[in-house]
Amino acid sequence: MSAFKSRLFELKYDLLLPYRLIPVPTTDINLKKLIFKLKKMKKLFAFVLCLTLGLTVSFAQADGAYKQAQKGLAKEAVKEEVVPGPMMNFESTEVDYGTIEQHSDPYRYFKFTNSGDEPLVIKHAKGSCGCTVPTYPKEPILPGETAEIKVRYATDRVGPFTKTITLTTNEASETKVLRIKGKVNKAPAEPDAIPAAAPSILGGQQGTGHEGHNHKGHKH
């Protein structure tokens, strides 16, 4: 019976371990030793597998973080890249006055920075009509410096409006177009003036209570 069990295990062993890295057991003692070794190998294999998976996940996360960092650096490099020649970079090219009352503050401002590597020169600025008057710096704006365009709209004009200001500069594109918009409501009418007091029907000044008294007989 013992020989039969050994032969049966040997057949199973041949199927499971064709390369016979472990000697084929011939006795129950050898069988127990083999089972013990297989259990130890199973634990070792599980440990190695877990370690491999953990390292794989860690490397994947590290690689993802590295790629994200590289993308961030690339974006910052694009932002900080200096454009050849002068470059007029506005915070906004449109200003909304909103809904305002007639004769309100007429001034608005367009702030900009010279993001290029050469001085920026504004040659001319013109509004789309006489009601829109721009004022601009006449001196060159050096690289990295900030300045502004001041615009005056005639807020005595009632109704919605949309106007443009065209700038001519020494940039490669030469012109820049700014826009203002809003709505002016008519100012409320002033109250009527209080009428002056009507003159007395008796003429002259109103009586003080002493008219007609003869003071000759009174001694002071």
Q: How confident is the model at residue 93 (pLDDT cuts 50, 70, 90)?
A: very high
pLDDT score recorded for residue 203: 53
pLDDT score recorded for residue 12: 53
- CA quadruple 155, 158, 161, 165: dihedral sign: negative
Q: Is the pLDDT of residue 128 over 80?
A: yes
- CA quadruple 6, 11, 13, 18: dihedral sign: positive
Q: Is the pLDDT of residue 181 over 70?
A: yes
pLDDT score recorded for residue 61: 76
User: 88-185, superfamily in CATH?
Assistant: Immunoglobulins (2.60.40.10)
Question: Do 185 and 100 meet the contact criterion of CB atoms below 8 Å apart?
Answer: yes
Six-digit token pair at 116? 């290029």
Rounded (10°) CA dihedral 61, 67, 73, 78:
-150
Among 106, 189, 180, 89, CA closest to 143: 89
pLDDT score recorded for residue 5: 54
pLDDT digits (tens, 9 = 90+) for 56-67: 777 677 777 777
pLDDT score recorded for residue 82: 60
Neighbours of 172 (CB within 10 A): 11
Compute the distance between CA of residue 170 and CA of residue 64 in angstroms, rounded to an integer: 45
pLDDT digits (tens, 9 = 90+) for 6-27: 555 555 555 555 544 555 555 5
Q: Is the pLDDT of residue 138 over 90?
A: yes
**75-85 mean pLDDT:** 64
Tell me how far CA of residue 201 lies from CA of 186, 196, 198, in angstroms.
43, 15, 9
Compute the distance between CA of residue 175 and CA of residue 167 in angstroms, rounded to an integer: 5
Put simply, whether the predicted model's pTM sits higher than 0.85 gets the answer: no
Listed range (4-8, 105-109, 143-147) with the worst mean pLDDT: 4-8
pLDDT score recorded for residue 217: 47
Six-digit token pair at 210? 């002493």
In sequence order, the β-bridge partners of residue 178 are 165
Q: How confident is the model at residue 100 (pLDDT cuts 50, 70, 90)?
A: very high
